[in-house]
Amino acid sequence: MMSNPRNLNAANKDLLIRALRAHSINTLPELRRIERIFAELNAPDTNEPIKNAWIYYVNSHNLLNELRGLTKKYPFSSECLDDAKRRANGSPGQNYCWTVLNKIKEQSLIPHHARLLAAKPAMWGGRAPSASDINKLATACTTEWTRALTTLLRHWDANGR
DSSP string, 35-98: HHHHHHHT-GGGHHHHHHHHHHHHHTTHHHHHHHHT-SSSPPPHHHHHHHHHHHTT--SS-HHH
Structure-model confidence comparison of residues 38 and 5, the more confident one:
38
Confidence of residue 132 (pLDDT cuts 50, 70, 90): very high
Split at pLDDT 50, 70, 90, the class of 159 is confident
The 10s digit of each residue's pLDDT in 57-112 is 999 999 999 999 999 999 999 999 999 999 998 776 769 999 999 999 999 999 99
Q: Does the pLDDT of residue 14 top 70, yes or no?
A: yes
More confidently predicted of 2 and 26:
26
pTM: 0.90
